[in-house]
């Protein structure tokens, strides 16, 4: 679940307008980009023209729902075509300038003797370097698990917030355990 939250936060950073959520809205966007050509949408989706006609029928009773596989394909195509120049500019800016991470999450610690390593829920708003943005986007492209996202963010937030960018608590190892919500902004 957390990986989905982090991935959704990264996606929200890249898009300036919301991506259509329902399959019906996504099909309408594909048709708009294809200038109304159902044949083009059918060819790009790998289905027959008749299938696209059934998906986009005017009457709700006659309208068929795409299968889960086709709905995923439609979603992928819409997200790939939505605001490509804006996404590229915002990603480049994040990788160059860094990100501001606003999150409420549970952090665990491995520290020296005599200190508490109990996990605690914290609300943080901290800037992180562009290298972290590069790592997150590389992980996104690789399709990694939510655990890898938490490792990357735990290391970055631990360095900036808990170890004060290397000025204190050098031996403190921070683990990001749960993410309630996360938002990314450009630094």
Q: Per residue in 140-178, pLDDT tens?
A: 888 888 888 888 888 888 878 776 655 565 666 777 778
* Residue 27 within a domain: yes
* Residue 12 within a domain: no
Question: Distance (Å, rounded) from C-alpha 157 to C-alpha 106?
Answer: 12
What pLDDT score does 93 carry?
94
Are both 138 and 60 inside the same structural domain?
no
Are both 115 and 134 inside the same structural domain?
yes
Query: Is residue 187 classed as helix, strand or coil in its secondary structure?
Result: coil
* Residue 108 within a domain: yes
Are both 97 and 60 inside the same structural domain?
no
pLDDT band at residue 27 under the 50/70/90 scheme: very high
Residues 6+ apart with CB under 8 A from 177: 105, 106, 107, 108, 119, 150
Would you report the helix, strand and coil content of the chain in percent, each value rounded to 5?
55, 20, 30
Structural domain including 175 reads 90-186
* Residue 2 within a domain: no
pTM: 0.72
What pLDDT score does 132 carry?
92
* Residue 107 within a domain: yes
Domain boundary among 82, 104, 119: 82
CB distance 137 to 10 below 8 Å: yes
Quote the percentage of the chain above a pLDDT of 70. Answer: 87
Are both 106 and 174 inside the same structural domain?
yes
Domain boundary among 42, 62, 82: 82
Are both 98 and 49 inside the same structural domain?
no
Are both 180 and 95 inside the same structural domain?
yes
What pLDDT score does 171 carry?
60
What pLDDT score does 89 carry?
94
pLDDT band at residue 113 under the 50/70/90 scheme: low
pLDDT band at residue 1 under the 50/70/90 scheme: very low
As for how many domains the chain has, the answer is 2
**Position with higher pLDDT, 109 vs 74:** 74
As a whole number, mean pLDDT of residues 94-111 equals 84
pLDDT at position 5 over 70: yes
* Residue 3 within a domain: no
* Residue 54 within a domain: yes
* Residue 7 within a domain: no
Best CA proximity match to 183, nearest among 117, 93, 110, 123: 123
pLDDT band at residue 38 under the 50/70/90 scheme: very high
Are both 166 and 111 inside the same structural domain?
yes
């Amino acid at each position: 679940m957390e990986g989905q939250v982090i991935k959704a936060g990264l996606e929200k950073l890249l898009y300036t307008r919301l991506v259509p959520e329902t399959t019906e809205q996504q099909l309408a966007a594909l048709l708009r980009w294809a200038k109304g050509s159902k044949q083009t949408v059918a060819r790009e989706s790998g289905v027959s023209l008749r299938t696209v006609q059934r998906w986009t029928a005017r009457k709700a009773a006659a309208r068929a729902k795409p299968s889960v596989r086709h709905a995923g394909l439609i979603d992928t195509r819409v997200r790939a075509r939505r605001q490509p120049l804006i996404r590229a500019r915002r990603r480049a800016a994040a990788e160059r300038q860094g990100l501001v991470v606003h999150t409420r999450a549970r952090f665990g610690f491995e520290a020296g003797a005599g200190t508490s390593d109990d996990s605690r829920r914290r609300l943080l708003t901290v800037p992180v370097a562009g290298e972290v943005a590069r790592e997150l986007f590389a992980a996104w492209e690789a399709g990694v698990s939510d655990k890898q996202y938490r490792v990357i963010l735990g290391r970055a937030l631990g360095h900036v917030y808990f170890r004060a960018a290397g000025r204190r608590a050098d031996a403190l190892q921070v683990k990001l355990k749960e993410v309630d919500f996360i938002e990314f902004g450009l630094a």
